[in-house]
Amino acid sequence: MPGHATLGVMGGGQLGRMFVHAAQAMGYRTAVLDPDSASPAGLVSHQHVRTAYADADGLAALIESADAITTEFENVPAVALRALAERRPVAPSGDVVAICQDRAAEKAHFVAAGVACAPYAVIETAEQLAAVPDALLPGILKTARLGYDGKGQIGVATREELIAAWALLGQVPCVLEQRLALHLELSVIVARGADGALVNFPVQQNLHRDGILAVTQVPAPDVSPALAEEAARCAGQIAAQMGYVGVLCVEFFVVRTESGLRLVANEMAPRPHNSGHYTIDACDVSQFELQVRTLTALPLVAPRLHSPCVMLNLLGDLWFDAEGRERTPCWDAVLALPGTHLHLYGKASARPGRKMGHLTLTGASLATVRATALRVCSLLGLPSDGLV
């Protein structure tokens, strides 16, 4: 029950930080395992175990401290989560995290769950490379493991480019996905309990720049009710198919076809997600509170969006001017606007492309919020595509 346990989290980034805040608000003590002494989550947790994720002594210390354990990013070694699960409840499990760590396993799971994904081929050997169907070109070659925020991906138009790209990626196991006629991107965040109870947040419409999430809008302005219902249903199927316990984000592409718009699953994250950060300020229960609830077997309530919103990602580029000199963004002018909620992650230093925080803008209508978001973009020098 709230206030009577210590909750552990593997990983000390901003997602862990927001989980820790949510757990502490409900009266729990927290313990973070992360090797970085200045990790955002470690700085605010009751306890910080400073070891590598697979370190036996570190895992033992976390087991000693925590009554139940979760993870804040998918690249925590699945073997470490399995080891923790021998002594403590762990959600999500090492087995489902392992699926999310491997694009080939992830695609196979989508198919097993009855959810469409982009046509693809697994490339692990020169023979598989040579056997790639012509129909998959042009495509995107992605490393099967350790790819996120657009990393480990190369667009290829011809077989010659495919061969060169695989060599450039070090001939590691890869997945080649057919390039689709993208109409827009959306995501669905679900929470599933050990008893099979399932709830979801509203569909989120997303805009990425250079592979990194830039803007999320809720309600999704260009998504029909029927498509939103389908996306929520598919995300639930994906979670149920692998017996998932925890918070799961499924990202989808909406693609153009001759018969109209079609939904295809892109990837999933076994944790709260950047596109769900708005839930802290725009919903009556956040994705992080639901992460706490799934970990502690508390009742899951269907989240309610009480305010239309726009979430803007804040990357480290904002902390530098055109000449590369460090500066402080004009937060005073931004916070003078109605409905602005600033979240900075406590990272020690800024660098281009690094996620430093986010802004959630709330208001009475999406049109009002979008107008405020455009003003914020002007003040901070952010691009306004996707909002006009």
Q: Which residues are annotated as a binding site for ATP?
A: 103, 142, 147-153, 177-180, 185, 208, 266-267
Separation of alpha carbons 68 and 65, rounded Å? 9
Beta carbons of 121 and 128 less than 8 angstroms apart: yes
Q: Which amino acid is at 62?
A: L
Q: Which amino acid is at 33?
A: L
Within 124-220, strands assigned E span 139-143, 153-156, 174-178, 182-192, 198-200, 204-209, 212-218
Separation of alpha carbons 133 and 271, rounded Å? 34
In DSSP notation, 81-114 reads HHHHHTTS-BSS-HHHHHHHTBHHHHHHHHHHTT
Separation of alpha carbons 280 and 362, rounded Å? 11
Separation of alpha carbons 137 and 298, rounded Å? 47
3-state secondary structure of 315: strand
Which H or E element spans position 258?
none
Q: Helix, strand, coil proportions of the chain in percent (round to 5)?
A: 35, 30, 40
Binding-site residue positions: 103, 142, 147-153, 177-180, 185, 208, 266-267
* CB-based burial, 317-352: b 16+ in 10 Å, e otherwise: ebbeeeeeeeeebeeeebeeeebbbebebebeebee
Which ranges constitute the DSSP H helices of 201-273?
225-241
Beta carbons of 190 and 270 less than 8 angstroms apart: no
Residue from 206, 143, 216, 134 nearest 175 by CA = 143
